Amino acid sequence: MTMIEAIRDAHDVAMAADDRVVVFGEDVGFFGGVFRCTAGLQEKYGKSRCFDAPINESGIVGTAIGMAAYGLKPVIEIQFADYVYPAYDQIASEAARLRHRSNGDFTCPLVIRMPTGGGIFGGQTHSQSPEALFTHVSGLKVVLPSNPIDAKGLLLSAVADPDPVIFLEPKRLYNGPFDGHHDKPLTSWKNHPLGDVPDGDNAIPLGKATITRDGADVTVLAYGTMVYVAEAAAEETGVDAEIIDLRSLLPLDLDAISASVRKTGRCVIVHEATRTSGFGAELMSLVQETCFYHLEAPVIRVTGWDTPYPHAQEWEYFPGPARVGEALKKVMED
Amino acid sequence: MAARKSAKKPNTSKEELLGYYREMLLIRRFEEKAGQLYGMGLIGGFCHLYIGQEAVVVGLEAAAKEGDKRLTSYRDHGHMLACGMDPKGVMAELTGRSGGLSKGKGGSMHMFSKEAHFYGGHGIVGAQVPIGTGLAFADKYKENGGVTFTYFGDGAANQGQVYESFNMAALWQLPVIYVIENNQYAMGTAVKRASSMPDMFKRGESFSIPGEAVDGMDVLAVKEAGQKAADHCRAGKGPYILEMKTYRYRGHSMSDPAKYRTREEVQKMREDHDAIESVRALLLNGKHATEDDLKAIDKEIKAIVNDSAEFAKESPLPAVEELWTDIYA
């Protein structure tokens, strides 16, 4: 199963189990989504439960908040994470704070899905990784799966969650894992163990990281596409890295992070998003706070550059295995 | 076609018709070439072709004066060619080369030209609408008689910031023409599926902004409507809305198989309403041009387009250092 099919399957399971779940967004109903993540849902559940919205992100999120406050469970799609900014006010000022400012009278069980990240030659308005804009807002949860099994399991947990969840889907991983070697043939989820998605309700709890590669020398903190890039970098450099796929940025599995860093004594943090005030800065602070006396070298970040996402020279921007590999070697030398 | 000419535009000159023919053909052939280069892998990512909609921008450019400004969405190649930007620079931006109008930084959706008063290519649906409103504010402030053509699509017409713009433009009586290119599909969603009131030209009524629907496949009708709207703006009467009823023949972008409409629907539009074929018929029926004259134009356009493609292939990639330029002053 591809990640797209896994996401569609999660919708199907959630909609079948609970008629409060409604799904909408731009091109989501009749057309089944530009990436096909909601294909077939309108036929199966009808137009009142899976439908098209006009192109108005602020309106989509705002109405979903109202629905959520009065007992529905909207799962909405923002077509690209790059399109979310008109809705940011509704997310930051309304969805995130409804529970707190109503003293818990009203809540916002809402999932906002968005394809995120680069590597598809999308340029500055179809490639961004805005996760830190959401982790910076109290009251939101932020989830970012890296494979079909996790995508389905985490989406089911997100739908069941009583609070607003930002669900970021690395679109470069929709059809197969991607290790940053853009000139190699594409690989597919078909026959990949992580594409073997179980039927039914196999929710994976939010806030639990997973170790994708055991290692003794350095801990790599990654999520989304960067998990595969880090794996490739470890293989190519021979550095015995322990790679942690965070899966959920908020809540964050700090226990898993500190246990690993305390073991290895070294840490490299990797993300596609721009560097300054990126989520890597938060991770670095937490590692420093919890593991300082175990560290044998300064923590290193490998990130996108502090520039708009480029059209030309995409692979100079995208943190590929070469840049991650350099960081692994450097952290071992320090 | 001859009937249309005599009924609607008895005074259209041969030169004017030939100009429209040439400019619309340039856009179409350029876009076809861009589609080919995309297929060959020379253009990657997102690429939105303007094929079918040529009469809108060509007719409106005929109503514009030097110094007028224009900006649009991501379906922007036609607008750039119509306002005189170099086809080589446009094509090389599509291929992401240093000879591109944004040195490869912007790509298909994000190009600009100070010289041509072209304020972008904008990748975010509707984002250009308040910006166009601000350009018009600056025109009014400077009292220079300029008008801003702010293009957006039927999908963008549902964005909230469009109505914020309408209110401000009417409140401050700004010289802006809102051109709604209604090609009937917002990506894969037909207008009726996403718009409670599909008559887009009426969308300004509650702000007292006059609006009219125009046959956007008829370049002469577009020009006439554009002239009227521009005169209105230049006379200090505030904004104007033109809903251009048009149609895109290709998918929303190169990756869109367009399964949300039938092949027959597209075919019928091409056969009965094609803007270029209409002008061609006017030229031939009115004895303004012979088949050979038009063939000569076709050849000339083909050469321009081929040159642009060659340039776009040969222009080198931008230097890696360009990633970090033009971030701050």
Q: For the ranges A322-326, B105-109, B140-144, B253-257, which has the lowest average pLDDT?
A: B253-257
- Does the pLDDT value for residue B78 go beyond 60? yes
Q: What is the mean pLDDT of residues B140-164?
A: 97
- Distance, in Å, from the CA atom of B128 to the CA atom of B120, rounded to the nearest integer, reads 8
Along the 334 residues of chain A, how does pLDDT read in single tens digits?
A: 999 999 999 999 999 999 999 999 999 999 999 999 999 999 999 999 999 999 999 999 999 999 999 999 999 999 999 999 999 999 999 999 999 999 999 999 999 999 999 999 999 999 999 999 999 999 999 999 999 999 999 999 999 999 999 999 999 999 999 999 999 999 999 999 999 999 999 999 999 999 999 999 999 999 999 999 999 999 999 999 999 999 999 999 999 999 999 999 999 999 999 999 999 999 999 999 999 999 999 999 999 999 999 999 999 999 999 999 999 999 999 8
Single out the catalytic residue among A126, A181, A182, A311: A126
Quick one: tokens of B57?
Answer: 């921008």
* ipTM of the complex model: 0.90
Any chain A CB within 8 A of the CB of B163?
no
Q: Which residues of A touch B103 (CB under 8 A)?
A: 312
State the best of A52, A56, A182 to mutate against chain B, taking most chain B CBs within 10 Å: A56
State the best of A274, A311, A317, A318 to mutate against chain B, taking most chain B CBs within 10 Å: A311
Phi, psi for residue B316 in degrees, rounded to 5: -70, 160
The CA distance from A262 to the nearest CA of chain B, in Å, is 37
**Does B189 contact A30 at a Cβ distance shorter than 8 Å?**
yes
Task: Search chain B and give the residue with CA nearest A29.
Answer: B189
Specify whether the CB–CB gap between A304 and A269 falls below 8 A: no
Q: Which residues of A touch B322 (CB under 8 A)?
A: 312-313
CA distances for B11 relative to B16, B17, B20, B64, angstroms = 10, 11, 15, 19
**Does B109 contact A317 at a Cβ distance shorter than 8 Å?**
no
Residue of B97, B123, B155 with shortest CB distance to A55: B155
The CA distance from A36 to the nearest CA of chain B, in Å, is 12
pTM: 0.93
Any chain B CB within 8 A of the CB of A330?
no
Quick one: pLDDT at residue B177?
Answer: 98
Specify whether the CB–CB gap between B79 and B117 falls below 8 A: no
Q: What is the mean pLDDT of residues B253-280?
A: 93
Active-site residue flag, A136 = no
State the best of B158, B192, B196, B328 to mutate against chain A, taking most chain A CBs within 10 Å: B158
Structural domains in chain A plus CATH codes: 3-173 (3.40.50.970), 207-333 (3.40.50.920)
State whether CATH 3.40.50.970 applies to domain B26-288: yes
DSSP-based three-state secondary structure for B231 = helix
Give me the residue label for tokens 């300004």.
Answer: B204
**Does A307 contact B327 at a Cβ distance shorter than 8 Å?**
yes
Tell me the count of A-B CB pairs closer than 8 A. Answer: 117
Quick one: pLDDT at residue B3?
Answer: 32
Any chain A CB within 8 A of the CB of B197?
no
Give me the residue label for tokens 């303007």.
Answer: B50
- Distance, in Å, from the CA atom of A191 to the CA atom of A89, rounded to the nearest integer, reads 42
**Does A26 contact B160 at a Cβ distance shorter than 8 Å?**
no
- Does the pLDDT value for residue B11 go beyond 80? no
Quick one: pLDDT at residue B10?
Answer: 56
Specify whether the CB–CB gap between B195 and B159 falls below 8 A: no
**Over the stretch B217-260, which tens digit does the pLDDT of each residue have?**
999 999 999 999 999 999 999 999 999 999 999 999 988 888 89
Residue of A27, A58, A312 with shortest CB distance to B317: A312
**Does B159 contact A55 at a Cβ distance shorter than 8 Å?**
yes
Quick one: tokens of A231?
Answer: 């794996």
Q: Which residues of A touch B100 (CB under 8 A)?
A: 312
Residue of B102, B123, B327 with shortest CB distance to A126: B123
B52: which DSSP letter?
A: T
The CA distance from B275 to the nearest CA of chain A, in Å, is 28
Task: Search chain B and give the residue with CA nearest A51.
Answer: B193
**Does B194 contact A30 at a Cβ distance shorter than 8 Å?**
no
Phi, psi for residue B101 in degrees, rounded to 5: -65, -25
Q: Rounded mean pLDDT of chain B?
A: 95
Task: Search chain A and give the residue with CA nearest B104.
Answer: A312
The CA distance from B183 to the nearest CA of chain A, in Å, is 15
